[in-house]
Structure 1
């Protein structure tokens, strides 16, 4: 019974604090699936460029709806992708422009990127939801150290919070840059080329977020978190020793 409860607790914690990969998995899937669907529909079934793009965009929209129904909760990123897909489909059918279908994926990146940057401005960096469980790793000492560092109760708090914000800024800027590159490419590069090149842009943006964000924020935050956890452990030992000494003195 205890083991099952512990496993359930970990599962609930993972749901409440998704990792960075889990946060961006819908974005990755909803680009990779249309890519494969486009070439399959166009080359294997002989559909026109416009038709192949339109039908390949239906797939991620249906996947998002299914995910919402299955999980019975609204995932902000998944919901955003669904709205963008539906709106872009309607606009594309009205305009008949396949390049608009390619440019619409940039709307997802830009919206997420702007949302991340606004969250930093508001003092609640969005990427912290995935960053915290990655750094804390369900360690009680690190969890307590995180609380002290983010509350301003510790000397390195200011530096820690700057790194926390910097991590979100890196991701926000990377996604905005990906959006610009995708939109420019959608209207300047041949459609068939841009279908796979858009995926390259997305993978590049994610890679930049991981590498630059890792070096700029994750590594120094790990060091500060470890030092704070060790300092907390030492402080706890000192307090315990002081209490034990006071007890002995009182008995004497």
Structure 2
């Protein structure tokens, strides 16, 4: 769920054509690799620690450290902290410290849903205020390293009410999805056996992400991509004229 902020680069003759092929692959890797680390490593670590004789709470605690370290390291390596990344670092660290102090395995599981709820609520508020936080995540996918598309994004975001509504819908879907995940995982943390909830929580999270991708794409990303594609030719023409 981390989402690095996209930065616009100044257009240079023939540069957009050269940059375009590698940019989507880079965006895909940046998006998928953190997800694999945050989902796969804690799950494997938990069962490996349990097999080694570690207690349930200790296994949960040690396996929960990995996503926090990965997020903090990602921010330190990029030397850039956007709003969503800062929020994720804060709630993960606070949630981990709180659950360690209490020492309850079920609270440790519920902590993950608490992270989702806080992030979801903040994302929803950002959409309602007209400053959608998820725009930083979807922008690299839509502009694909094309300077004209990136310029079109900036102009549409500043001038087009329809584009801003699509941005808000994209964030609103993700905010609602994360809040829904919070409810389901909290109920599961206190009603389902801990051993079952360790893997079931991962299934719920993956299902939430699939739902978020499908619905936010339909109501937000696809309309935005269409508007960017329509506006990009005029941006290229203006750049050529300059």
Q: Same fold judged by TM-score > 0.5?
A: yes
Partner of 1:161: 164
Match of 1:199 among 202, 223, 233: 202
Instruction: Work out the CA distance in 1 between the residues paired with 2:58 and 2:65.
Output: 11
CA contact (8 A) 1:61 1:86 kept: yes
Change (3 A) 1:80 1:35: farther
Instruction: Work out the CA distance in 1 between the residues paired with 2:88 and 2:223.
Output: 33
- Displacement, 1:123? 1.4
Change (3 A) 1:79 1:27: farther
**Which structure has the larger Rg over C-alpha atoms?**
1
- Displacement, 1:75? 6.0
Alignment of 1:12-161 (within 5 A): 19=27, 22=30, 26=34, 29-43=37-51, 45-74=52-81, 77=84, 79-152=86-159, 157-161=160-164
Change (3 A) 1:35 1:119: same
Instruction: Work out the CA distance in 2 between the residues paired with 1:188 and 1:203.
Output: 20
Tell me the secondary structure at the aligned position of residue 124 of structure 1: coil
Change (3 A) 1:75 1:221: closer
Change (3 A) 1:161 1:113: same
- Displacement, 1:32? 2.9
- Displacement, 1:34? 1.7
Residues 180-210 of structure 1: CA deviation (Å, up to 9, x unaligned): 1111110111101100111111111111111
- Displacement, 1:171? 0.8
CA contact (8 A) 2:116 2:181 kept: yes
Q: What is the TM-score normalised by the length of structure 2?
A: 0.76
Partner of 1:190: 193
Cα RMSD between the aligned structures? 3.3
Instruction: Work out the CA distance in 2 between the residues paired with 1:24 and 1:77.
Output: 17
CA contact (8 A) 2:50 2:59 kept: yes
- Displacement, 1:126? 0.8
Instruction: Work out the CA distance in 2 between the residues paired with 1:235 and 1:85.
Output: 46
Unaligned runs of 5+ in 2: 1-11
Change (3 A) 1:149 1:188: same
- Displacement, 1:106? 1.2
Q: What is the TM-score normalised by the length of structure 1?
A: 0.73
Instruction: Work out the CA distance in 1 between the residues paired with 2:134 and 2:232.
Output: 22
Change (3 A) 1:61 1:162: closer
